[in-house]
Amino acid sequence: MSTVPKIEQSLAGIIGRIAALIGSDRFSTGERAALRRMAPGQPLTLAFLRFAHRHLPEHWHRSRDAIDDWVTIVAGIALMSPNAHRPDRGLGTALAESGYAESRLERLLASRGHARRVLLLRAARFLAAKNSAFNWVESAQLLLTKDPDRQEALHRGIAGDYFSAL
């Protein structure tokens, strides 16, 4: 029996499916480009709405924050496609091995809300330029987790992976 909570298994499945779909040769390059251009806080595009209603979890639109979190996740995966998601490699490890500055990681982990979304997309662009895939479930949790204790545990895990990889 798995020790991963059901909600995290579900998130891992959703992220895996999204990354596989967006990275697929069968996914339209025009749709992928439209998803790459998205930004949290901006009006939702038809490309995103079509994608979201087909592939995101049932309650992806429960609040404006949730919508912006999912826009960030989908846009980040699209930015890094076709090789965005690597389940065996944490965000901290990918950032450290790619030369991401410690100060930038500190700003990302200290940020909240819109600033966190923007900084996460910047990190995704940085990693895309280095062709450095990572586990997008961790980034999704970083955005979607609202419990302060769980957020702090995520921060410690990402920072621990970062410093272990240096």
Amino acid 4: pLDDT: 45
Q: What is the pLDDT of residues 78-89, one digit of tens each?
A: 999 999 999 999
Q: Considering the entire predicted model, what is its pTM?
A: 0.93
The three-state (H, E, C) secondary structure of 88-100, written as one string? CCCHHHHHHHCCC
Any idea where the domains of the chain sit in the sequence?
A: 6-165
Q: Mean of the pLDDT values across residues 118-146? A: 97
The CATH code belonging to domain 6-165 is 1.10.520.40
Q: How much is the pLDDT for 9?
A: 55
pLDDT of 1 higher than 50: no
**Average predicted confidence (pLDDT) for the chain:** 94
Q: What average pLDDT score do residues 24-41 get?
A: 97
Residue 8 pLDDT exceeds 80: no
